[in-house]
Structure 1
Amino acid sequence: MPVSRRLALVFPGFEPLPVEAHCSRFIREAKRTASAYGMTLSLSDPVYSGAGLRTGTIAVDASGEGWRTQTEAVVYGLGDLNAVYAERNPAVRILTGLGALADFIGTGTFFRFVWTSWRYSLFFLYPLVTLFGVVAIAAAVGSFLPVSTILRWLVGILVAVGLLWFASKRMHFLLMMDDWAFARDMARERRPDVKERIAAVAADIETRLSAPDPGEVVLAAHSFGAITVMLAIADLLSRGCDMRGAGLLTVGSSLLKVALHPAAVRLRAAVGIIATSPITWVDCQSLTDPMNFYGSRPLHTLGIRKGREARIIRVRFRTQLRPKTYRAIKYDFFRVHRQFVYGVEKRSPYAFHAILCGPEPFAAFAEEGALSENWPPASGVGKAG
C-alpha cells in the first residue's frame, strides 16, 4: 500500500556548507530524480529554523498514477561544526590532519580498515601519498636548478605551495585533512560542542516524533551524518522513546571510520542499542565509492553479537546515470561519494529521493533490497516544479 504521509529527517555528511546549501541540493536533485521516476513533484521553499540547531524544512508533494505521497523533509544543518576546521590556517590543517592519520595508524585502526575494506585503506593513504608526492616533486625541481642553495630552497618551497594549492582545489587535499582531524576528535570525544549539538538533534527528533500522525518516519544519513544520527537515536532509545516502525537509512556511511577506533566506545554502544531496537536499518554501499566501507557488515565488523545486522544494499551508480555523466564523475571520488544523495537519470534499484519522496514503504524497500520496478508507471514522465 502506498505511503500517504512521511517524515524524512536528513543528515548530511562532512561538508562545511550551511543548511541553505544542503536544502538547495535536496530540491535540485529531487527534481532530477522525479523525471527519471515519472513523478509529478512539487516542493515548497525551505522554512529555516532560528538560532541554535539549524534546520530547513521542505514540504514535498509527489504523485503518480494511483498514488500521492506528502513528505515533510527536514534537513539538519551541521556545517558550522565542520567549518571550524576549514577556517583554520592551511599549515594547521595539514599538521592536525597528519596528527590524526598518525593516531589512526598508532592505534591500529588503519589495519582494521585494511581487514574490513581494503579499498578504504587506499583512501586513508591518499593524503599521505599526495603530500609525499608534493614534497618529492618540489625537492626534485629545486635540486636540479643551476642556482644557489638558498634559491633552490625558495623555488622548492614555492613549488610545494603551488602543488598544495592545486591539490586542495582539485583533489580536496585540505578537506581530507580536516575530515581525518574531525574523525579523530569524534572518536576521542574532544568536541563538547558536537556532543551538545547531537543532544539538540535528539531533542528535535523527539519533538517531531511526538507530533500527531507524522506518518512513516525515515532518518536518512550520508557519510559522517550516520554518526550524528546514530548517536542521537541511541540517546532517544536509551530514554525510552518509542521508535517502532521508524526506518534508518545510511548511505556511503562513515560509521566504521570512527567506530573502529578503540576510543570510540560510546559510538559502538550506540550501534548496539540500535541493533537491538525495532528500527529497520538499511545500509547502502557502493564499490565505485572509495570513501565507504564496501562489503562490510557493521555489527559483524564491530564484534556486536546481539541484535539484527543492517540490511546491506549494493548500489551501482553506473546503472542510474547516463554513460556521459558517469564518465564525467567517476574519477572525482568526492563527487562519486556524493552521488548517494544526488539525483538519478535512470530508474534504478536505489535512488535517494525516490526512497524519501516516493510511495514505496521503507520496510518494503528494506525487505526487497531495491525499489520496486512497478511504481510509478514508466510511461508519462511527470513535471518537477
Structure 2
Amino acid sequence: MIQRRHVFHIGGYDPITPKVQVDRLRRSLSSFDKIWGASSRLSEISNTSAINASCNLEAWGPNWKTYVTFEMLRWDDLIRCDSGVGLVPRLVQSVKALFDFIVTGTLFKYAIASWKYALFFIFPYCCLLLIAFCSAGLSYLVIRFIRPTFWVEELLLGILLPLAIFVISMLWIGPKRRINHILDDAIFSLQFLYGQKRELDRRLSDFAELISKVSQATAR
C-alpha cells in the first residue's frame, strides 16, 4: 500500500481560489469518511504563492494510513483576467470562436466525444439568441404602444431600442447565469489552440519546473 502521496491538482477553467478548493476537498472528505468508514484530517493551506498552494491530508482505517500533500497549481488569476473583458469584445471574440469551431469541425468532434460538453459549449450562444429575440419582441410591443409619428422615429426606435434592451439584459443576466464565463471559456479555447495565450504557456512551464523539483526531491 502507498503510504505517502504528493498530488498535484490543476483545476479547470474556473477562477477557484485555493481556499474554495480546500473547502470542496473538506466536504468530499466528509463523504469519503462516511462511505468507507475511514477517518481523515485536513490541514490549513500553507506554502501559498502566485502559482501554487498546498495543504496536508491524513487518512486512515483499521489497518492502513496514508499521508498526502495536496498541491494546487494555480491559474485562477489568469482566468479572472479573462473575465475583465468588455461586453462588445466578448461578443465579437466568442462569435469568432463559434465560427472557427464550426468551420474546422471541432464542434462536431465535441459532439462525438461528449454530447454533454457540446451542449455546454453551445448553451451561451443559445442564450444570446434567446435574449436577442426577446429584446426584439419587447421593442416591437413598445413601438406599437407608443405609435411614433414619423417613420424616422420608428426606424431609430426599431434599431436602438432592441439594442439597448439586449445590452442591459446581457449586463444583468450574463454574470448571474455564467453566460459570460462560458463565452470566455470558448474564447480561451480558441486562443490557446492558436498559441495566443503566452501567459498560460509561461505558467505551464512554471508548473512543469515545480513538478520536476518535487519529483527529484522525492526520489532522493
Structure 1 residue 67 corresponds to structure 2 residue 89? no
Structure 1 residue 125 corresponds to structure 2 residue 122? yes
1:141-220 aligned at under 5 Å gives the runs: 141-145=138-142, 146-147=145-146, 148=148, 149=154, 150-151=156-157, 153-165=159-171, 167-212=173-218
1:90 to 1:21, Cα distance in 2 relative to 1, 3 A? farther
Say if 2:121 and 2:182, in contact at 8 Å, map to a contact too.
Answer: no
Matching residue of 1:334: none
- Residue 75 of structure 1, CA deviation: 0.9
TM-score of the two chains, using structure 2 as the length reference? 0.85
Higher helix fraction (1 or 2): 2
- Counterpart of 1:93 (choices 90, 95, 103) is 90
AA aligned opposite 1:173: I
Q: Deviations over 1:168-201 (max 9, x none)?
A: 2443110011000110111111111111111110
Counterparts of 2:208 and 2:164 in 1: how far apart (Å)? 48
Gaps of 5+ in 2: 149-153
Q: Deviations over 1:350-385 (max 9, x none)?
A: xxxxxxxxxxxxxxxxxxxxxxxxxxxxxxxxxxxx
- Residue 86 of structure 1, CA deviation: 0.3
Secondary structure of the equivalent of 1:6?
strand
Counterparts of 1:61 and 1:111 in 2: how far apart (Å)? 44
Matching residue of 1:307: none
Question: What is the root-mean-square deviation in Å for CA atoms of aligned residues?
Answer: 2.2
Matching residue of 1:17: 16
- Residue 77 of structure 1, CA deviation: 0.9
- Residue 153 of structure 1, CA deviation: 4.7
Counterparts of 1:130 and 1:13 in 2: how far apart (Å)? 23
AA aligned opposite 1:180: A
Say if 2:7 and 2:68, in contact at 8 Å, map to a contact too.
Answer: yes
Matching residue of 1:83: 80
AA aligned opposite 1:5: R
Identity of matched residues, %? 21
Counterparts of 2:185 and 2:78 in 1: how far apart (Å)? 12
1:213 to 1:170, Cα distance in 2 relative to 1, 3 A? same
Counterparts of 1:42 and 1:126 in 2: how far apart (Å)? 39
Secondary structure of the equivalent of 2:218?
coil
Say if 1:5 and 1:69, in contact at 8 Å, map to a contact too.
Answer: yes
- Residue 125 of structure 1, CA deviation: 2.2
AA aligned opposite 2:133: A
- Residue 95 of structure 1, CA deviation: 1.8
Q: Deviations over 1:233-275 (max 9, x none)?
A: xxxxxxxxxxxxxxxxxxxxxxxxxxxxxxxxxxxxxxxxxxx
Secondary structure of the equivalent of 1:48?
coil
- Residue 151 of structure 1, CA deviation: 4.6
Counterparts of 1:76 and 1:119 in 2: how far apart (Å)? 27
Counterparts of 2:218 and 2:130 in 1: how far apart (Å)? 58
Say if 1:94 and 1:174, in contact at 8 Å, map to a contact too.
Answer: no
Matching residue of 2:112: 115
Say if 1:85 and 1:93, in contact at 8 Å, map to a contact too.
Answer: no
Counterparts of 2:87 and 2:33 in 1: how far apart (Å)? 41
Counterparts of 1:57 and 1:86 in 2: how far apart (Å)? 25
1:166 to 1:205, Cα distance in 2 relative to 1, 3 A? same
Structure 1 residue 42 corresponds to structure 2 residue 15? no
Q: Which has the larger radius of gyration?
A: 2
Secondary structure of the equivalent of 1:58?
strand
Relative contact order higher in (CA < 8 Å, ≥ 6 apart): 1
* Residue-pair matches, total: 211
Say if 1:56 and 1:75, in contact at 8 Å, map to a contact too.
Answer: yes
AA aligned opposite 1:109: T
- Residue 16 of structure 1, CA deviation: 2.1
Counterparts of 1:164 and 1:105 in 2: how far apart (Å)? 24
Secondary structure of the equivalent of 1:135?
helix
1:1-385 aligned at under 5 Å gives the runs: 2-51=1-50, 54-145=51-142, 146-147=145-146, 148=148, 149=154, 150-151=156-157, 153-165=159-171, 167-212=173-218
Counterparts of 2:66 and 2:7 in 1: how far apart (Å)? 12
TM-score of the two chains, using structure 1 as the length reference? 0.51
Counterparts of 1:60 and 1:197 in 2: how far apart (Å)? 26
Runs of 4+ displaced beyond 6 Å: none
